[in-house]
Structure 1
Amino acid sequence: MNLEDLIPTDEICARYKVKRTFVSSLYESGLIEIITVEETEYVHCDEISEFERLWRLHYDLDINLEGLEAIQHLLRQVKKLQKQNLELKNRLGLYE
């Protein structure tokens, strides 16, 4: 993993004006991944869009951590069902 692709959690907290506990709670709930390198915690740049979505849901819509977990679960289910639907359409296309 390239250190250039990692963003320190302190920088995320400063940029988005969130407390460190919010980032930690997202990590503890499994909603984002935090990587520790030499006692400094980082978030991979690919996770930033997910963090931003969760941040907006929490601060703009006042959704608590449990609600974020439920939303995350439902979105994963929707993506899974969309993938299955596409696979079934492709299989059905073979018989038409």
Structure 2
Amino acid sequence: MRKEDLIPAEEICVRYKVGRQFVSSLYESGIIEIITIEETEYVHCDHLANFEKMMRLHHDLEINLEGLEAINHLLQQIKQLQKDNRRLKNRLGLYE
């Protein structure tokens, strides 16, 4: 993991105008990962899109943390089902 791919959590709070507690809540719920290096907390850039999605749902639709957890779980299930579907289509293509 390269340090260039890490974004300080404090910078995310400033840029997106969210409280530090919101970022911590997403981490505690398992929605995003926080990496601590030398007492500074970072979010990997791969988790930024998921953070933005959850932030918009929270602020625009006023969905609480429990709702965000449920939505995140369902989105992960959809991704897995799509991956399985692609794999099965590829296997089926071998028999056609």
TM category, shorter: over 0.9
Structure 1 vs Structure 2: percent identity of aligned residues? 74
Tell me, yes or no, if structure 1 residue 25 matches structure 2 residue 37: no
Superposition TM-score, scaled by structure 1 size: 0.93
CA distance in 2, matches of 1:50, 1:71: 11
Q: Establish whether residue 72 from structure 1 lines up as the match of residue 72 from structure 2.
A: yes
CA distance in 2, matches of 1:68, 1:86: 27
Structure 2 length-normalised TM:
0.93
Specify every segment of 5 or more residues in structure 2 that has no aligned partner in the other structure, as ranges: none
Corresponding residue for residue 55 of structure 1 = 55
**Cα distance, 1:75 vs structure 2:** 0.8
Whether 1:16 aligns to 2:19 is no
- The letter of the residue matching 1:36 is T
Cα distance in 2 between the residues matched to 1:2 and 1:8 = 13
User: How many residues matched?
Assistant: 96
* Deviation string, structure 1 residues 39-94 (Cα, Å, up to 9, x no partner): 11111112111111110011011111111111111111111111111122122222
Query: CA separation in 1, counterparts of 2:3 and 2:92?
Result: 45
- Consecutive unaligned residues in structure 1, runs of 5 or more: none
Give every structure 1 segment of 4 or more consecutive aligned residues whose post-TM-superposition deviation is greater than 2 Å. none
Tell me, in whole angstroms, the C-alpha distance in 2 between the residues paired with 1:90 and 1:2: 34
**Equivalent residue for 2:35?**
35
Check 1:2–1:92 CA distance in 2 against 1; reply closer, same or farther (3 A cut). Answer: closer
Q: How many angstroms does 1:28 deviate by?
A: 0.4
